Chain A
């Protein structure tokens, strides 16, 4: 179902009449070697149902054992978000029936999360800083994956049959829940995106997750509600799922604001429901409506013992926290001598890590920034992907920059080399060789070309010999043509003048 214009209200009108309230729930798959409660590997993309055992298949009699590495990651995430770490907490069972959940309950945490009450500062594109409160971060296990075959929607309802892959079942997840985010007005969609971006950067810096939204290792559910301007009572919220990119986070929030406003403006009521974001239409649609509200019948997980992280352990983990992204940005700005605007461009392009890695690989900060923020950003835009998803590595960019610095490539040729790498033609050196792009720096080859050009245009040669140096341009052009542009024009000019001076 696509949204007609009548279904949504004009954005400016939304803001004239309502204040949005956001709540963001982010699920992060931890990159631990093994699952949350068993020893199965967690690698992405394995053959279906090859990374399973009695525990994660929920076979009768099997019991969970907590993965200590996952608890460690949870605590580090909590600390990085400025949360308090629970001195004592438990897992709880969240009971509901669904075929991709082997036990028909999810082992999660309920009213005793491992981390709670923190905050995350985000910087918007114009430099405005927004503080988002963190309600809690808790541990749980992922579900399996269903593939519903037949039926129009690809959802379980109406499917002819379903295929189940339990490789993901039991992969450790951390769910991070914000406090209600208010007062963002027109910038709510931007704040939502900035929050997920900041959280992603933080998690990446911690090294606890791949944070790949496209692979589902970072997933965001966006809760949106509206309240009429001037009131402080939150409206009924919807929860939008299937938001699989940073851009989608922004679009989904914006769409829900305009949709809800249209419903409210028309005198309707917002239903508390789960909605699905459709990447192709940019709209959300209601999930199958449940006749009864979901009651998860939480109770403490009797198969696991409580977790009581000692103060010493927590402090030890605090000492392992890396430089936080915002601290790093400050340091980079100083190290690379960037203006505020330059830094913001770098951050907004999502290029901090990439540029840093390119610098580490030998490029100068300016070279690295030029490539990523200017040339490659445009390419990512054209392709509609994140910068980091481009098929080129910082090391490859650094190699190209080095070849330019050595005079082996002109800037124009360098761009062709980068295009070749992006096209999957291999390493920069291989592209240079295959495309024959290297600058002709062999003077003997150039002398021959120069002599040939001078011989072909004796009148011009005479003019140069007569002191009309600017006439050399015509000969340079001829040499460049003869060398298919791979000669260094400056050097060609020098050689022409040298020849004519004799």
Chain B
């Protein structure tokens, strides 16, 4: 293992921009690491070696010529979730139906990364169309958790989280519809941020549930996540739901938080996020984290958000409803898989055969649930009611944030579960998102920061920090302060406790 792959993005950027190390060297180190261990981890669906090295070379040329670098992260490698359209580079969303699809255009996030000189190493594995909490729903095989290769790396963004924990990339991009950034971060001991809805452009993000989907930064430290947040955030005229406001000052907040002073801050512990589904070790780690916040000077109070109990069922009506419509376009007519285009089959039959062959079981389940929920006669009882619940959850947040500055909870009720453990029990799988879904329904920002290891299985636990809309700086400050205190308590970064991975024989 090299120092380069174990450095933070901030450290790498400083060295590259100072000319101490080239971006090409850094990029090669990460590509080598991917080459050595990705057969084991399977975080990547596509590695763009040539594109990455060319991007790195451009940054090195800037540095050599004394030109200002494109951004504070110029030259730093990154792993991009395979749900963002990338011009000329395959984009599958973990689905057979998009096998070999090469987009003719760039998503706004991909374009911003390129413009910022960030080196995109490749595309990471995910649950098909971001539907899942384990990455087991990928059509291209499971991704393994570097902490324990028999366990899931979370989902849907398991490829992104695993790539960070496996030191294949210092930065990654995920998308979070119900927890797909935060839950993988939690179970891999990494940092994952879901920005305010509309904070990061959705243009080119292949939609699962349009009113919930939100791209966001993933990293191994809070500061790195903040640096990436400022690169990808901001208004985009191509996304009508994009917020026309400056990106909150998250980098400054992360730096300020690292000083470790939370005096004057009120932290609310959400009373509803505990109970039978929560692992003891997770609750214990969470309680310790809350104690740590108190130790940093924060005032901690208990807060009730009574409607959060209805978040999961509401989510499982809204998200499938929108997905049933969003995924209708995969019909074999213009791109992607085409099945049955012979034997005189009609266009309608080809559509049906293609969707039958191209979608996995979970996608089909949600498309069918959504189709049913939107049907005339059922709309009001299902989709309509769920939207009302959504409003009530937003009010719970508003009320809570009238009293406290941030809310905290465990990110997910358990540590990483075993591969295969929940595949036959969708509802158990859905419970992984119990604590993360409310922020998606309300459109408010939330993040997961590692909160130590569970004392019952030694696996990472996540602390979720939630803030009001467009107040990301609050949660970054709290997370950074906690991160510093935690590292002090644990005698160094938690991520360094990831077991050494066997390097695959070549």
Tell whether, in the assembled complex, residue A299 and residue B379 are in contact, meaning their CB atoms are under 8 Å apart. yes
The CA-CA distance from A59 to B205 in the complex, in Å, is 11
The CA-CA distance from A304 to B207 in the complex, in Å, is 13
User: Which single residue of chain A is at the shortest CB-CB distance from B198?
Assistant: A305
A212 interfacial contact with B, CB 8 Å: no
Instruction: Point out the residues of chain A lying under 8 angstroms from B211, CB to CB.
Output: 302
Instruction: Point out the residues of chain A lying under 8 angstroms from B347, CB to CB.
Output: 99, 156, 162
- Among the listed stretches B296-304, B323-331, B454-462, B464-472, which one makes contact with chain A, having 4 or more residues with CB under 8 Å of it? B323-331
Tell whether, in the assembled complex, residue B348 and residue A60 are in contact, meaning their CB atoms are under 8 Å apart. no
Tell whether, in the assembled complex, residue A97 and residue B103 are in contact, meaning their CB atoms are under 8 Å apart. no
17 A-B pairs whose Cβ atoms sit less than 8 Å apart in the complex: A60-B85, A60-B335, A61-B103, A62-B203, A62-B204, A63-B203, A95-B328, A102-B334, A104-B328, A297-B374, A297-B376, A299-B322, A302-B211, A302-B322, A303-B241, A304-B240, A305-B240
Instruction: Point out the residues of chain A lying under 8 angstroms from B286, CB to CB.
Output: none
Count of chain B residues near A, Cβ 8 A: 45
Instruction: Point out the residues of chain B lying under 8 angstroms from A61, CB to CB.
Output: 84-85, 103, 107, 202-207
Dominant SS among interface residues on chain B: loop
Task: Mark interface residues in A207-239 (1 if CB within 8 Å of B CB, else 0).
Answer: 000000000000000000000000000000000
Instruction: Point out the residues of chain B lying under 8 angstroms from A162, CB to CB.
Output: 347
B447 interfacial contact with A, CB 8 Å: no
Tell whether, in the assembled complex, residue A64 and residue B325 are in contact, meaning their CB atoms are under 8 Å apart. no
Give min CB distance, B117 to chain A, whole Å.
23
Tell whether, in the assembled complex, residue A63 and residue B202 are in contact, meaning their CB atoms are under 8 Å apart. yes
- Apart from A54-B103, A60-B330, A305-B240: 9 A-B pairs, beta carbons within 8 A: A54-B104, A61-B205, A65-B237, A99-B333, A99-B347, A297-B375, A299-B325, A299-B374, A304-B240
- A64 touching B103 in the complex, CB below 8 Å, given contacts A59-B85, A156-B347: no
A103 interfacial contact with B, CB 8 Å: yes
Give the most central of B84, B93, B203, B322: most A CB within 10 Å: B203
B71 interfacial contact with A, CB 8 Å: no
Tell whether, in the assembled complex, residue B374 and residue A65 are in contact, meaning their CB atoms are under 8 Å apart. no
B79 interfacial contact with A, CB 8 Å: no
Cβ-neighbour of A104 out of B209, B239, B331, B346 (below 8 A): B331
Tell whether, in the assembled complex, residue A64 and residue B207 are in contact, meaning their CB atoms are under 8 Å apart. no
Task: Mark interface residues in A301-312 (1 if CB within 8 Å of B CB, else 0).
Answer: 011110000000
Task: Mark interface residues in A282-313 (1 if CB within 8 Å of B CB, else 0).
Answer: 00000000000001011100111100000000
Cβ-neighbour of B105 out of A54, A65, A299, A305 (below 8 A): A54
Instruction: Point out the residues of chain A lying under 8 angstroms from B324, CB to CB.
Output: 95, 297
Residues of chain B in range 369-398 having any CB-CB distance to chain A below 8 Å: 371, 374-376, 379, 383
- A63 touching B206 in the complex, CB below 8 Å, given contacts A57-B334, A295-B375, A302-B211: no
Give min CB distance, A149 to chain B, whole Å.
12
A474 interfacial contact with B, CB 8 Å: no
Count of chain A residues near B, Cβ 8 A: 31
Task: Mark interface residues in B193-228 (1 if CB within 8 Å of A CB, else 0).
Answer: 000000000111111011100000000000000000
Instruction: Point out the residues of chain B lying under 8 angstroms from A303, CB to CB.
Output: 207, 210, 240-241
B314 interfacial contact with A, CB 8 Å: no
Tell whether, in the assembled complex, residue A103 and residue B328 are in contact, meaning their CB atoms are under 8 Å apart. yes
10 A-B pairs closest in CB distance: A104-B328, A297-B374, A302-B210, A302-B211, A61-B204, A60-B206, A61-B85, A61-B206, A103-B329, A54-B105
Task: Mark interface residues in B306-333 (1 if CB within 8 Å of A CB, else 0).
Answer: 0000000000000001101100111101
B252 interfacial contact with A, CB 8 Å: no
The CA-CA distance from A164 to B204 in the complex, in Å, is 24
Instruction: Point out the residues of chain B lying under 8 angstroms from A54, CB to CB.
Output: 85, 103-105
Give min CB distance, B345 to chain A, whole Å.
11
Instruction: Point out the residues of chain A lying under 8 angstroms from B105, CB to CB.
Output: 54, 59, 62
A58 interfacial contact with B, CB 8 Å: yes
Instruction: Point out the residues of chain A lying under 8 angstroms from B80, CB to CB.
Output: none
A447 interfacial contact with B, CB 8 Å: no
- A60 touching B98 in the complex, CB below 8 Å, given contacts A99-B333, A99-B347, A299-B374: yes
The CA-CA distance from A416 to B93 in the complex, in Å, is 69
B69 interfacial contact with A, CB 8 Å: no
The CA-CA distance from A99 to B333 in the complex, in Å, is 7
The CA-CA distance from A97 to B107 in the complex, in Å, is 26
B351 interfacial contact with A, CB 8 Å: yes
The CA-CA distance from A112 to B334 in the complex, in Å, is 32
Tell whether, in the assembled complex, residue B329 and residue A65 are in contact, meaning their CB atoms are under 8 Å apart. no
A200 interfacial contact with B, CB 8 Å: no
Instruction: Point out the residues of chain A lying under 8 angstroms from B98, CB to CB.
Output: 60
- A105 touching B240 in the complex, CB below 8 Å, given contacts A99-B333, A295-B376: no
The CA-CA distance from A103 to B333 in the complex, in Å, is 10
The CA-CA distance from A169 to B322 in the complex, in Å, is 22
Give the most central of B91, B93, B101, B325: most A CB within 10 Å: B325
Tell whether, in the assembled complex, residue A102 and residue B371 are in contact, meaning their CB atoms are under 8 Å apart. no
Give min CB distance, B236 to chain A, whole Å.
9
